[in-house]
């Protein structure tokens, strides 16, 4: 889900800051868990490590699920950069952004 949604986010030239995982049980009751990132992102790889813990926290009952959804909110126009690209982490981030767009 994150992969498909982030492609659309990048196509729209946006970045996201808040991620919400919602679960709906077979009896139609729902639970959810939201998390705001320190900085907006347009890379799905920035979300991978957060999604599993969020799902575990949202899935509070030991019953089967009818639906699992992922929602992005707090959208920003373009990619917001708060630091200069001087360190290797920022350069790696830019490399991942280029690869996610299909640049070589």
- The pLDDT-based confidence of 101 (bands split at 50, 70, 90) is low
Distances (CA, A) of 67 to 16, 47, 73, 90: 23, 20, 19, 36
Token duo for residue 59:
């899935």
Beta carbons of 15 and 75 less than 8 angstroms apart: yes
* Superfamily holding 2-101: DNA polymerase, Y-family, little finger domain (3.30.1490.100)
The 10s digit of each residue's pLDDT in 40-88 is 999 999 999 999 999 999 999 999 999 999 999 999 997 655 445 555 5
Reported as half-sphere exposure (CB side, CA atoms, 13 A), residue 7 has a value of 4
CA angle 70–92–13, rounded 5-degree value: 50
Q: Dihedral of CA 54/55/61/66: which sign?
A: positive
Residues 6+ apart with CB under 8 A from 30: 22, 23, 24
Q: Give the per-residue pLDDT at 78.
A: 75
Residue 93 has pLDDT above 70, yes or no: no
């Amino acid at each position: 889900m994150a992969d498909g949604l982030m492609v659309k986010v990048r196509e729209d030239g946006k970045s996201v800051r808040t991620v919400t995982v919602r679960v709906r049980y077979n009896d139609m009751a729902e639970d959810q868990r939201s998390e705001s990132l320190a900085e907006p992102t347009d890379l799905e790889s920035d979300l991978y490590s957060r999604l599993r813990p969020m799902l575990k926290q949202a899935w509070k009952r030991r019953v089967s699920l009818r639906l699992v959804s992922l929602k992005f909110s707090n959208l920003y126009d373009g990619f917001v950069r708060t630091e200069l690209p001087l360190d290797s982490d920022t350069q790696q981030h830019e490399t991942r952004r280029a690869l996610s767009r299909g640049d070589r």
